[in-house]
Structure 1
Amino acid sequence: MTDDIWTIKELADYLKLKEKTAYALVAKGEIPGFKVGGSWRFRPRDIDRWITEQQEKNR
């Protein structure tokens, strides 16, 4: 089984950020995510799409 939803820690690891930085970006709405019971969750495909969008913006 693959993990289709990440926690904030998994997101931070994937993006090579500190968890505190990841929380700040998510809270500002800069990274796509959703809350489940008060905890942030992320779909890897949404994060990969967001990364692609960021790369295109910075060209």
Structure 2
Amino acid sequence: MPDEILTLPEVAVLLKVAEKTVYTMAQRAEIPAFKVRGQWRFKRVDLDSWIEAQKASLNPATAQNETPPSDAAATERGGGRQDDH
């Protein structure tokens, strides 16, 4: 279902957190959500995008499928320290 709408308890299960946590995050606009007659609802596609953004903000190199250069690789490119002796 492309426009799947989730309830608060469903999002709590998806994220493996307490329902109160999801409720608080929605109130603080920390997670994409909207209300229908006073009840929080969440679009699955918005949550998927939000999850990816969270992953990217924690580790940009991993999110872009790049690995940071190792010390050996940096030395080979001339990026390592050189002794002047």
TM-score above 0.5, yes or no: yes
The aligned runs of 1:1-59 (5 Å cut-off) are: 2=1, 4-59=4-59
Q: What is the CA-CA distance between 1:48 and the residue it aligns to? A: 0.4
The CA deviation string for residues 12-37 of structure 1, in whole angstroms up to 9 with x for no partner, is: 00000100011111111000010000
Report the Cα distance in structure 1 between the residues aligned to 2:15 and 2:50, rounded to whole angstroms: 11
Report the Cα distance in structure 2 between the residues aligned to 1:36 and 1:26, rounded to whole angstroms: 13
Report the Cα distance in structure 1 between the residues aligned to 2:43 and 2:21, rounded to whole angstroms: 18
**3-state SS of paired residue (1:25):** helix
Runs of 4 or more consecutive aligned structure 1 residues displaced over 3 Å after TM superposition: none
Q: Any stretches of 5+ residues in structure 1 without a counterpart?
A: none
Q: What is the CA-CA distance between 1:41 and the residue it aligns to? A: 0.3
**Count of aligned positions:** 58
Match of 2:51, as an amino acid? I
State which structure, 1 or 2, has the greater radius of gyration over its C-alpha atoms.
2
Q: What is the CA-CA distance between 1:4 and the residue it aligns to? A: 1.1
Q: Any stretches of 5+ residues in structure 2 without a counterpart?
A: 60-85
Identity %: 45
